[in-house]
Structure 1
């Protein structure tokens, strides 16, 4: 049996897809980004917590630059190791110590920006930080550099410069590329440039590229739009795998998440709820690198 490609289906069904796309844009509620601080600490002697970092603003919403430090940005030549030579406060913010702080940055589009939940503590960054803290026994300082609606090019130009020194950068992108019908070949070049830009900003930092979500199973999308977007999402995910294989220190993390779980989606049926972000973070945590330096005692629970 010959399965039509995403491109052929898109052309053949273009009139139907255009109508369904307009209806979806009008019908899906536009949820705000997560509110509150875009940096915090999870784990450590005091357990999970959210602690604003000095000089980091709260979420400005979709119209502003997410997570922009009010002080001078850290230069790309600074160390991103665990020795503290970069001038960053590496204490866990909880009044105790459980080993050096593991620094996590979440970069990308609306899911990285926590659309679907009230605060980043309930979003991808918060859950991923707590999962990493539980697995490593380290306090985890997390940062969000994200904005709803961005694509890979915008992220490279406007959000990568906001990254603070980190021990790993998790990239959550691709859905807007999908909705914009970006071609895989073009996406490949743009994703490579994103990786290069992150490396210029934070030399040697490990990068985890989150795989495309299973859009072909999203209940909010009608057929045949769901099927076509599902095929195109697989094509973009294949690009992500290839880019990761071709770059040292870059890992592609397959998004194996149980989206059929009750309560997985937020009210728009498109973005995750707190339950959805928790499941996604549990899957992504397996791809995180081991923290540098000596580990502290395991976190109970």
Structure 2
């Protein structure tokens, strides 16, 4: 984000009115004290050769979004979310992985939708997986919840339309209630709203045919996973997060994965999409979820109230 909490406003809840002066002062101090970090440098695309040369064409992944997509808190993209996600996918699939990243520091969900429409497909081949990170800047600007849900719906629809043959993975909101940069009670107030936004994000993503991957709160227990601003992930934090996303996103390892070649890209995407479609429940009155993934397991733990706290 360009200026964390520069747009934070006092919540409208009557219960929080007595805290309004405190929250305003804390937000102002946080803006002044939080170091402003630049996005990662280096190449915005890369290629990792897989361990099994005969496993088929490279698996292609695109990361798109806000500051965490463009690697704020890390020195190079190869040592941020895109590069570490590619490494994790290569380890899980034993295939070569081609990755690229596009985004904007400070982008809201609406802005990311615009960026997605302007993005050229790297190398002329369509991706198998699109990972999107969004939400923090909408939180900072206190985007009304109804509009936030509509923005996520539009974003997912744009990504599904732009990358018709790719699976779309929506990264969940980070546990803002554990950010070291935030003092209490500001941390609690923003964290509570972030959790509400994440529930709306999950519903909108799944309704649009995407997979929502909640962030593992246990990551935030380790201060070393945060960058120097106490707000963004460090390089180690990006690595841990990438491993989590890869578990939710990696295509299955079985012979059928190479059985359905696809137009304009590698052959992993459509088969994975078919397997994913069969794994999604669509019973009336029940939320759709991807069975057998870390995303669904984490969601169940959150629903049951058994999840341990902490991550970026």
Same fold judged by TM-score > 0.5?
Answer: yes
TM-score range, shorter chain: 0.7 to 0.9
1:279 deviates by 0.9
Match of 1:293 in 2: 258
2:211 to 251, 266, 269: 251
Q: 1:262 Cα deviation (Å)? A: 4.1
> Deviations for 1:250-273, whole angstroms, at most 9, x for unmatched residues?
101010041122411111111111
Q: Pick the aligned partner of 1:25 from 11, 26, 31.
A: 31
Give the match for residue 272 of structure 2. none
The unaligned stretches of length 5 or more in structure 1 are 1-5, 47-95, 297-301
Partner of 2:171: 210
- Provide structure 2 residue ranges, at least 5 long, that are not aligned to the other structure: 1-10, 260-266, 269-312
Equivalent residue for 1:114?
A: 71
Cα–Cα, structure 1 residues 163 and 195, in superposed 2: closer, same or farther, change >3 Å?
farther
The DSSP-based 3-state class of the residue aligned with 2:224 is coil
Q: Would the alpha carbon gap of residues 262 and 219 (structure 1) be closer, same or farther in structure 2, given more than 3 Å must change? A: closer
- Residue 219 (structure 1) shift: 1.3
- How far the C-alpha of 1:13 sits from its partner, in A, is 2.6
Distance 2:120 2:234 in 1: 25
CA 1:170/1:225 → structure 2, altered by over 3 Å: closer, same or farther? same
By percentage of residues, which structure has more helix? Answer: 2
Q: CA RMSD in A?
A: 2.1
What CA distance in whole angstroms lies between the structure 1 residues aligned with 2:18 and 2:102? 38
Greater relative contact order structure (CA < 8 Å, 6+ sep): 1
The match for 1:39 is 45
Whether the 8 Å CA contact 1:145–1:160 is kept in 2: the answer is: no
Structure 1: how far apart are the matches of 2:232 and 2:172?
15
State the Cα distance separating 1:133 from its structure 2 match: 0.5
CA distance in 2, matches of 1:163, 1:185: 31
Are 1:158 and 2:80 counterparts? no
Question: How big is the shift at 1:98?
Answer: 4.4
Q: Count how many residue pairs are aligned between Structure 1 and Structure 2.
A: 241
Question: 1:290 Cα shift?
Answer: 1.2
- Give TM-score, length-normalised by structure 1: 0.75
Structure 1 stretches of 4+ with a deviation exceeding 6 A read none
